[in-house]
Amino acid sequence: MCFGYELDPEHRTGAGQVDALSVRIQEHLSDASQATPLDTLAAHFLARPRAGDVARELFNTYDRFLGLLADPEVRGHLEKLPREQADSDARYTLVRETSHSFQNALDRLFFDGGEMERLTKIYGVF
């Protein structure tokens, strides 16, 4: 949402009085705040078809993770699993590996050397 304005060439064009720019940014943020995070990510990837591998990894692992946690048997098992047994538990390992795959996709999205990495360094890393 925060990077969307910078990533959309339509917003960066035109004469720039400070007041007009401020209004355009406010309108963008207002519109963007109405979308879900997944919708925002989907729109980003739809505008960048070459990022399909990252999109597939991100959405597939997110779906798999939610599916695992939505399964009453898996969720119940994890809720009752003693912490000291977690590292040797197959279900816990599957959920953990799925979350790592999701993190990998996010890392690729924000730190792939492209425009998102530049914006992450400017606006996201303090």
Same domain, 52 and 87: yes
Same domain, 25 and 56: no
Q: What pLDDT, on a 0 to 100 scale, did the predictor assign at position 23?
A: 77
Same domain, 50 and 71: yes
SS3 of residue 59 by DSSP: helix
Can you give the residue range of the structural domain that contains 90?
37-124
Same domain, 17 and 67: no
Find out whether 58 and 41 touch, Cβ atoms under 8 Å: yes
Q: What is the pLDDT of residues 73-82, one digit of tens each?
A: 999 999 999 9
Q: Domain count for the chain, please give it.
A: 2
pTM of the model: 0.75
Same domain, 43 and 26: no
Q: How far is Cα 71 from Cα 10, in angstroms, rounded to an integer?
A: 43
- DSSP state, residue 120: I
Same domain, 53 and 92: yes
Same domain, 63 and 111: yes
